[in-house]
Chains A and B, each alone.
Chain A
Amino acid sequence: MASHYYQEARGIRKSSAIIAVAVLNQAENLFLVGVGRTVIIRKIIIWNGQAANAIVSIGINVFPAAIANIIPNILAIVGFDSEWQEDMIPEVEINQNITVASTVAGIEVQIEVEEILI
């Protein structure tokens, strides 16, 4: 028996660009949310091609503000990709831009969101 359940679509699926985190520990935009919209993260892919393990935060606020996580930090191990499907991602609905920060620069992050018209 499948461990997931079927959920009716509430919005349309979109993906972010592939963001290579520019500066360590400085939050930058990952997905820009449209006017009058909310988004829920449905998929996350992180690739760590750098020399050290990284802690990747996904949340809101951009530098110089500190990122405010909307899901717990993700450990991105050197030479590995981290893939998170929607069954494993909390249903957090956000009405502002999604941002990302990492303890190592150069980490690549892409998300898929369900964008919902309010």
Chain B
Amino acid sequence: MPTLPMIHTYRGGPIEQVVLPGETVGLWINKVYEFYRILYIEPLFRSPPLTINLGAPAAAAVTAVIQATLLQMPDLEFAQLRMEVLDDVDVIVYQGRADQRHKLQNVVATLSRFNALFDPDAHLTEVFEFEDNYLFLQATNNSGYALTQARVVFWGYRYVLEVLPDYNWAARRLPEVWTRIPATAHL
């Protein structure tokens, strides 16, 4: 009997892994789901090596869209990440340099130091990154003065995968039970 997947990503509360080893995931990449089996999972600690500094923006300045190469995953691995902004900047998350996440029709939601007030576990910040489908970050300094740094820290889980070649989204050959992982922006 197959194990039921935890199909509820972005869950409230402290971060938890969304699947177990042996379960099947479909990763949303390039507008299709690709299917894999989970082989192995381990945590990624919230720590200085997982902290990205987006620079020192002047008052009212906007940084470039910065590729988060620090978070690149090896082949056949994806990460489940939550993030917290540590300095007083508003951050936009991209997945694909021009593909904004967390967007509405006309505006894009931003992350800041204030989010921790309303979302202490940062569950709304959860993102998934597969291999080198990079996250990109852009910071705006909305404080009234220049900042010396603009840091974002990450934590979460690392998932090691094996390919399931029998399944194909385009041909509609789908696993019976699988968990959908939004690993890129939905354009």
Which A residues are within 8 Å of any B CB, using their own CB?
A: 9-12, 14, 31-37, 97, 115, 117
Whether B60 is near chain A, meaning CB under 8 Å from some CB there, is yes
Is the beta-carbon distance between B114 and A36 smaller than 8 angstroms? no
How many Å lie between the Cα of A12 and that of B84 in the bound state? Answer: 14
Nearest neighbor of A39 in chain B, beta-carbon distance: B144
Which B residues are within 8 Å of any A CB, using their own CB?
A: 59-60, 88, 112-114, 117, 142-145
Is the beta-carbon distance between A14 and B114 smaller than 8 angstroms? no
How many Å lie between the Cα of A35 and that of B113 in the bound state? Answer: 14
Partner of B88 from the list A14, A31, A36 (CB cut-off 8 Å) is: A14
Is the beta-carbon distance between A34 and B143 smaller than 8 angstroms? yes
How many Å lie between the Cα of A37 and that of B60 in the bound state? Answer: 13
Task: Tell me the total A-B contact number using a CB cutoff of 8 A.
Answer: 29
Q: What chain A residues lie within 8 Å of B144 (beta carbons)?
A: 31-35, 97
SS class of chain A's interface: helix, strand, loop or mixed? loop
How many Å lie between the Cα of A33 and that of B117 in the bound state? Answer: 19
Is the beta-carbon distance between B88 and A34 smaller than 8 angstroms? yes
Tell me how far the C-beta of A19 lies from the nearest C-beta in chain B, rounded to whole angstroms. Answer: 13
Known: A35-B60, A117-B112. A11 touches B143 (CB 8 A): no
Is the beta-carbon distance between B143 and A32 smaller than 8 angstroms? yes
Q: What chain A residues lie within 8 Å of B114 (beta carbons)?
A: 11-12, 117
Tell me how far the C-beta of A116 lies from the nearest C-beta in chain B, rounded to whole angstroms. Answer: 8
Is the beta-carbon distance between A12 and B143 smaller than 8 angstroms? no
Nearest neighbor of A12 in chain B, beta-carbon distance: B113
* 18 CB < 8 A contacts A-B: A11-B114, A11-B117, A12-B88, A12-B113, A14-B88, A31-B144, A32-B143, A32-B144, A33-B144, A34-B142, A35-B60, A35-B142, A36-B142, A37-B143, A97-B144, A115-B88, A117-B112, A117-B114
How many Å lie between the Cα of A90 and that of B88 in the bound state? Answer: 25
How many Å lie between the Cα of A31 and that of B112 in the bound state? Answer: 20
Q: What chain A residues lie within 8 Å of B112 (beta carbons)?
A: 117
Interface centre among B59, B88, B144, B145 (most CB of A within 10 A): B144
Nearest neighbor of A16 in chain B, beta-carbon distance: B145
